[in-house]
Amino acid sequence: MITEKKIESTICNLFKKAVIELPEDVKVSLQDAYKKEDNRIGRINLKAILKNIEMAEKHQIPLCQDTGLPIVFVKLGNIKVENLYEGIRKGVVKATKEIPLRPNVVDPLTRKNTGTNTGKGIPQVDIELVDDDLIKFTVFPKGFGSENNNALKMALPGEGVEGIKSFVVDTVIAAGGKPCPPIIVGVGVGGSSDSAMKLAKEALLKRVGDRHEDERIALIEEDILGQINDSGIGPMGLGGKTTALDVKIQVADTHTAGLPIGVCIQCWAGRHAHAILKP
């Protein structure tokens, strides 16, 4: 049995790790971007980002003042779990108080802040059933400077691959410097309107630098990434070679009459952390 208390402490520790320490693949990608950048302002901004990462780890404080909306992905296997959602909720409350996390969660109409980063439907929890004897938690504190630049298009099938590329690139160019580039771009293709956006968000959890296992999709990722970086938007939108660190695509089959395309943008602080618990 995985107890509620164990879930609470796991979620709290994962949020602490996520908001303070970037995954190694993201850090390496930012370091590589700095080495390759020949735009003076671009280099200054990338150097500031790398210093920010160093100071956050040294002083064990969050990388960014926006510690995000608490999103938790759960892979639930064939094990007994006590009060799963309540354990996650209490973990977020504990993390908010102890790390601390900035209290970001408000009523969408009154804008009243709950003060705990919990509320109606928050933390946002996505559960996937898996055939294994474990439970895996992935926390994804999603900042809204980037989230506010997401986009969805219910494209027609005839728009095809070129339509997908154009929509993603146009979305990133319209965002400009608002999502704090260099960004990571998640793209969901297929399913329905809501699942396309979910696929796009899940895509952001993949390792930066890894290509899709399907060669057709890998080539689309590379093409979109090249077009985005050719835009010259650059770090923090002030010019340079690196506007995006990577483009990640997730696909699902869809209806014969549709081509849903979801775009989810992540700022340079591609924060997430995971843990696996077994009985």
What is the tens place of the pLDDT at every residue in 75-110? 999 999 999 999 999 999 999 999 999 999 999 999
What is the tens place of the pLDDT at every residue in 221-253? 999 999 999 999 999 999 999 999 999 999 999
Q: Return all residues near 134 (Cβ < 8 A) that are at least 6 apart.
A: 75, 77, 79, 276, 277, 278
Tokens of 17: 């790790």
Kindly provide the residue ranges of all beta strands, DSSP E only, lying in 118-243, ordered along the sequence: 124-129, 135-142, 151-155, 183-191
Question: Can you say whether residue 57 is alpha, beta or left, with left for phi > 0 and alpha for psi between -120 and 50 degrees?
Answer: alpha
Tell me, yes or no, if the pTM score tops 0.85. yes
Same domain, yes or no: 85 and 169? no
d(CA 183, CA 218): 18
Whether residue 45 lies inside any domain: the answer is no
d(CA 145, CA 63): 14
Whether residue 52 lies inside any domain: the answer is no
The pLDDT of 136-150, averaged and rounded, is 97
Same domain, yes or no: 238 and 114? no
Q: Decide: 113 and 35 in contact? Cβ < 8 Å.
A: no
Containing domain of residue 195, as a range? Answer: 145-266
Whether residue 111 lies inside any domain: the answer is yes
Same domain, yes or no: 179 and 241? yes
Same domain, yes or no: 158 and 138? no
Same domain, yes or no: 91 and 149? no
pLDDT of residue 215: 97
pLDDT of residue 173: 98
The pLDDT of 190-213, averaged and rounded, is 97
d(CA 121, CA 218): 35
Q: Among 108, 142, 176, identify where a domain stops.
A: 142
Q: Report the candidate in 118, 100, 198, 180 with the shortest Cα–Cα distance to residue 144.
A: 180
What is the tens place of the pLDDT at every residue in 53-75? 999 999 999 999 999 999 999 99
